[in-house]
Structure 1
């Protein structure tokens, strides 16, 4: 069986490496530093079964990325897990309500076991919007 693909977007190299290490045992992971690189990757015909993204990044930040993904015919069905330290300043339920593809909003620092569970649930279609 082919592994599902997860696109990880975070401008912090240590966080990207950590997420890659956690997720790559179960999924094929592509990790990029910002929304611009993510959109470039997607526009080359690549596809992801799920996206894990930070909100605060250079170039195209997570908010702009979410806006683009949710308004895109090609990408609006890709489930998204928002993983950010910025969630404290935003109402997570407002994020999941505004962006239909956002399934989970998680706060940094995060528990790797919980993150893996949330990604698995997203990919299996067993999760509807939750906040951790």
Structure 2
């Protein structure tokens, strides 16, 4: 079964690019801002990973990540933030697994997503 990716970006061309790039390998859903993403999540949808822009109207990527981190249902979803800002300006939360500077290489982004979706939890075997 295909993994699910939620793209959150206010730029229609960027959403189109990411949907086209990821759509052949993943189920892809998109939202125009963090508020729309939260509404999609509150409808019972849970993606395997979220790729979000940082600067958006209504609710930006940092605020979205903050809300996800505070909710036990969503705090384990890995988030990749796309940003044109200086990386030290972005507040990090535990579920942010990678900051990717814009412009970015689509193949590098795909590799990061693949790595995150193939990470398996450590199993501790009791003796």
**TM-score when scaled to structure 2?**
0.90
Q: In 1, Cα distance between the equivalents of 2:14 and 2:48?
A: 20
* 1:58 matched residue in structure 2: 57
Selected match of 1:109 from 89, 103, 125 = 103
Q: Secondary structure at the match of 1:91?
A: helix
Tell me how far 1:59 sits from its aligned partner.
0.5
Match of 1:83 in 2: 82
- Structure 1, gaps ≥5 residues long: 127-132
How far, CA to CA, are the matches of 1:118 and 1:23 in structure 2? 12
CA apart distance, 1:112: 0.6
Structure 2 gaps, min length 5: 121-127
What's the TM-score, normalizing by structure 1? 0.87
**Deviation (angstroms), 1:75:** 0.3
Determine helix, strand or coil for the equivalent of 2:81: strand
The whole-number CA distance in structure 1 between the counterparts of 2:17 and 2:98 is: 19
Q: Which structure: greater helix fraction?
A: 1
Mapping 1:1-132, distance limit 5 Å? 2-86=1-85, 88=86, 90-91=87-88, 95=91, 98-125=92-119
- State how far apart, in whole Å, the 2-side matches of 1:38 and 1:6 are: 12
| Matched residue count | 120
The alignment's C-alpha RMSD in Å is: 1.4
